[in-house]
Structure 1
Amino acid sequence: MDSVFSLIGSYIDLDFKSLLLFTVVFIIAADFVKNRRPLGFPPGPWPLPVVGNMFSFDHTRTHEVLTQLAGKYGDVYSIRMGQVWLIILNGLEALKEALVTQRDSLADRPHLPLLEAITRGRGLNFTSGHMWRQQRRFALSTLRNFGFAKKSLQPVILDEFTHCAKEFRSYEGKPFNPHLVMNNAVSNIICSLVFGHRFEYSDEKFQKLLCWFGIVLHTHASIWAQLYNSFTGFMRFLPGPHQTVQQISQGVKDFIRAEIKEHKKSWDPSTQRDYIDCYLNEIQMSKGKDDNTFDEENMIICVMDLIVAGSETTSTTLRWAFLYMAKYPEIQEKVQAEIDRVIGQSRHPSMEDRANLPYTDAVIHEIQRMSNVVPLSLPHFTNRDVQLGGYTIPKGFTIIPNLTSVLFDKNEWETPFTFNPGHFLNEEGKFMKPPAFIPFSAGKRLCPGESLAKMELFLFFTSFMQHFTFSMPAGVKPVMDFLFGITLSPKEYEICAISRQE
């Protein structure tokens, strides 16, 4: 009898192993058929079944890995993240061909489930088609009416610097972390246009909001986001940073919703004070129109997009600037000498001074190049079949413009991995901007806040150099390592800001 049960047990065990083997083979075969590279598709590393290349490289240094892969597979190659193929573009020519020559074919954004869970298909940064065009047009025209990137915004920026400088001086030259102060200062510029007011550096709710932005930007470029975007049905029920991001985003929406509620209490359609007032007015005027995309939920996402885009990149660049000035004191001294000669100490800088400060301008641009704040830009999506680098990219594929490959290209820069303001100076010492300087990307999805960012960077940096000398605490060397995300931020550090007036 025992032998009979043993035989049956062996049969069941063998049958289970056969079923398991069949299932594994079937999954691999189905994955190969479904996700094989299309004919004429760019080459790339061989993907594993189901997960693709997701676990093939270090996600804390993605931009560096993608740049290295171009040496093996060429300027246009493909990798697979889960079930999604990504086309990686490297080098100036490949990016110009895609973003400028083929700009209409790559004007859309891909569908990213984690972002979709937050935005519900609304907003400015990750929408496409009519929604994107209508919201972008309204945002730019409205913000320009309130001085966006115009000379009239200079006093707002300089006034904010005064608040920031007071905060810096309060440390009396002792080490402090400039992270939240700089985020707050830069955010206040776009907030003055969107909300109609600034936030004090002691405002705990706003400080928490700024901390949230950093977490969200790093998580969206992490392995967790890749897993969620590839296996949404499964990941939706698992704990992890992808769940935290959704909770944080709800907190941001609640903050913005409270601001809108306050606006409504004193809202007068005949007196429009800021972007929210104008949007409330547009909601009323657009009711009943067939192509209307204006509603309160869309306003909340658009405001969130504007604040993140209008603050995070510039404040991060300025935090890198402090580090680079502390690392290269001789460059800092040269910048200060030029500012003292042209502006002196008796007045604030202005955008008119820029033409007379070529070395300072070159240093700002070199900080932007070396800090590489948005290393992989934002993803694009083909809305029709296109030819890129001699390969056929079908409709419906995600394109990643690797800005890192351009900003550190040895064929474009004399010393690509060395901080060298000479990259932006000609033989006569005058400022020049090489074609490979594209930190704001290019084409139809060029960063809409580029002109504002340039004004903020110049006025803030020049003012800081006019009033302070930056150095590391005694015995501490600058650490130039980064935290990878949609933005590339410096690791947390403390710095000393010594007042030059004293």
Structure 2
Amino acid sequence: MGLLGVLPFLLVSCITFLLILIWRRDATKGKLPPGPTPLPLLGNLLQLNIRDIIGSFNKLRKQYGPIFTVYKGSRPIVVLCGYEVIKEALVDNAETFGGRGQIQALDDSLSKYGVVPTNGERWRQLRRFSLLTLRNFGMGKRSIEERIQEEAQFLVQVLQKTEGHPFDPTIHLSHAVSNVICSIVFGNRFEYEDKNFIFLLDTIKKSFSVLLSTWVQICNFFPSLMRILPGPQHKLPRYMKKLINFISQRVKMHQDSFDPNCPRDFIDCFLAKMEQEKSNPASEFIHENLVATVVDLFFAGTDTTGNTILQGLVVLLRHPEMEANIQEEIERVIGRNRSPSYEDRNQMPYTEAFINEIQRFLDLSPLAVPHLVTQEAHFRGFTIPKGTTIIPFLSSIMKSSQYYETPRKFNPGHFLDENGAFKKVDAFLPFGAGKRVCPGEGLARMEIFVILTTLLQNFHLKASKQHEEIDIAPVVESNGHVPRRYQLCVVPR
């Protein structure tokens, strides 16, 4: 072999040797939990099924235990499994494990602003404001619950027009839950045929589709590379820009008619805070944070809530005896002459248990949004360096045989005691836990209860095929679960 033939070989060998040295140096920082052996640059890409991250994590959990490490490229990711481990990290050590890990799919227009992706003082102020505003129920002259009740009645009117014919309820529920957010954020609902409303829903739907795609999972491994390579991942910034422009236009409309003494909705409340702090150059209440926080509310409160109700309806088609049980409670507690109220749930233990079981069985977000270790963590015999990304594997709780008698089967009895009273289960964390628990939890719970009970107050559900033939198992979609598509008929009671 001549000198020219030897030089490339030596060059490749040297580069490989240097990469391994750098890899070993980085991989041995701290005393990370065990996990599959990573490859330089690739990390554990080849050992994980990108199309089914949930299944891959379940296998690794069985092999390495409740805490393990995987590498996305050169970055270590520590995965936490089981109620005890996740509670100890997110609740008992909330400050240490309470940072937000980087969400690679978001560009700078959203990753630096709003509640979900941010850290530090920005996150604290925006989260506190959002929680207080959503809990206040005093925006304008109507409470949030009244807005939900109103939208539930519009949904009933739309479903009455189906006249007992089979239909896919997905779009109708999407309209209803999205309109609740619109009413809270913009101060008004949209007619379902409104072109602006259709544009908003279509943009959100397309954004969700990209976020759940395999391409975005690969982006998490190789963010720099995927910014260069062609693929659907480049659509997300375009969709986000459309969403930001839509919300910015609404903010401008609010500014033109803003009365600080009479806030009509979430945007007005934020504008009032901006006015209050306009002399503070370090204020977090700026236009960019307003727009990004509204985006957060839409992403947290549309598909998640709609999919939960969708799952509940298909379970009722499969189990008509459960529909009868809920309707018996509706007759006894609410009757036919008033709208269901969230307070009614305290006298409706079976309905409350059924809703909890929907969330547990659907397991909508098996992987929590990434957390970040804010300081070096000494946790269960391991040393996790500051800045390490943490993923709480919530599915390991929701499908645990330790806490649920039949974890793979739908069973409202998981949340009922021997006397039929509602039973709280500690290992039930559909909204996460600790400092990063979903700020829209209260809103989502209210929506699910009010809309579901309103539908069952007004209709009997009928399947388009035999009950025994209905498959209620959710579908795995990369790093999440979604209900199966189905058809149903509604018959007025």
Query: TM-score, normalised on structure 2?
Result: 0.93
Q: How does 1:157-306 map to 2 (within 5 A)?
A: 157-306=148-297
1:331 aligned to 2:322?
yes
Relative to structure 1, is the Cα distance of residues 426 and 45 closer, same or farther in structure 2, using a 3 angstrom cutoff? same
Relative to structure 1, is the Cα distance of residues 111 and 223 closer, same or farther in structure 2, using a 3 angstrom cutoff? same
Per-residue Cα deviation, 1:325-357 (whole angstroms, up to 9, x for no partner): 112222222222332333333332223321221
Report the counterpart of residue 451 of structure 1 in structure 2: 442
User: Deviation of residue 77 (structure 1)?
Assistant: 0.9
Q: Among the aligned pairs, what percent are the same residue? A: 36
1:19 aligned to 2:11?
yes
The one-letter code of the counterpart of 1:314 is T
Q: How does 1:34-49 map to 2 (within 5 A)?
A: 34-49=25-40
* 3-state DSSP of counterpart to 1:326: helix
Per-residue Cα deviation, 1:26-55 (whole angstroms, up to 9, x for no partner): 43x245234324342100111122111123
* Stretch deviating more after TM superposition (285-294 or 301-310): 285-294
Per-residue Cα deviation, 1:107-135 (whole angstroms, up to 9, x for no partner): 21123343243414011111111000111
The one-letter code of the counterpart of 2:245 is D
Relative to structure 1, is the Cα distance of residues 487 and 463 closer, same or farther in structure 2, using a 3 angstrom cutoff? farther
Report the counterpart of residue 94 of structure 1 in structure 2: 85
The one-letter code of the counterpart of 2:264 is R
The one-letter code of the counterpart of 1:397 is T
Per-residue Cα deviation, 1:348-386 (whole angstroms, up to 9, x for no partner): 222332122111111111111101112112111011111
Q: Distance in 2 between matches of 1:486 and 1:267?
A: 41
2:128 to 137, 141, 144: 137
1:499 aligned to 2:491?
yes
Q: Distance in 1 between matches of 2:116 and 2:45?
A: 25
Q: Distance in 2 between matches of 1:470 and 1:47?
A: 51
Q: Distance in 2 between matches of 1:360 and 1:151?
A: 26
Q: Distance in 1 between matches of 2:31 and 2:125?
A: 36
Q: Distance in 2 between matches of 1:489 and 1:213?
A: 16
Relative to structure 1, is the Cα distance of residues 352 and 287 closer, same or farther in structure 2, using a 3 angstrom cutoff? closer
Q: Distance in 1 between matches of 2:463 and 2:230?
A: 39
The one-letter code of the counterpart of 1:262 is M
| Preserved contact between residue 470 and residue 495 of structure 1 (Cα < 8 Å) | no
Q: How does 1:27-176 map to 2 (within 5 A)?
A: 27=19, 29-147=20-138, 152-176=143-167
Q: Distance in 1 between matches of 2:262 and 2:416?
A: 47
Relative to structure 1, is the Cα distance of residues 448 and 87 closer, same or farther in structure 2, using a 3 angstrom cutoff? same
1:442 to 433, 436, 445: 433
Q: Distance in 2 between matches of 1:479 and 1:426?
A: 25
User: Deviation of residue 221 (structure 1)?
Assistant: 4.8
The one-letter code of the counterpart of 2:443 is L
| Preserved contact between residue 45 and residue 78 of structure 1 (Cα < 8 Å) | yes
User: Deviation of residue 140 (structure 1)?
Assistant: 2.3
Report the counterpart of residue 490 of structure 1 in structure 2: 483
**Greater CA radius of gyration, 1 or 2?**
1
Query: TM-score, normalised on structure 1?
Result: 0.91
User: Deviation of residue 225 (structure 1)?
Assistant: 2.7
* 3-state DSSP of counterpart to 2:167: coil
Report the counterpart of residue 460 of structure 1 in structure 2: 451
Q: Distance in 2 between matches of 1:279 and 1:88?
A: 36
Q: Distance in 1 between matches of 2:183 and 2:143?
A: 13
| Preserved contact between residue 218 and residue 484 of structure 1 (Cα < 8 Å) | no
Ranges in structure 2 where 5+ consecutive residues have no aligned partner:
none
| Preserved contact between residue 67 and residue 90 of structure 1 (Cα < 8 Å) | no
User: Deviation of residue 459 (structure 1)?
Assistant: 1.1
* 3-state DSSP of counterpart to 2:219: helix
The one-letter code of the counterpart of 1:477 is I
Report the counterpart of residue 477 of structure 1 in structure 2: 470
| Preserved contact between residue 50 and residue 218 of structure 2 (Cα < 8 Å) | no
Ranges in structure 1 where 5+ consecutive residues have no aligned partner:
1-6
Q: How does 1:315-464 map to 2 (within 5 A)?
A: 315-464=306-455
Q: How many residues align?
A: 490
The one-letter code of the counterpart of 1:245 is L
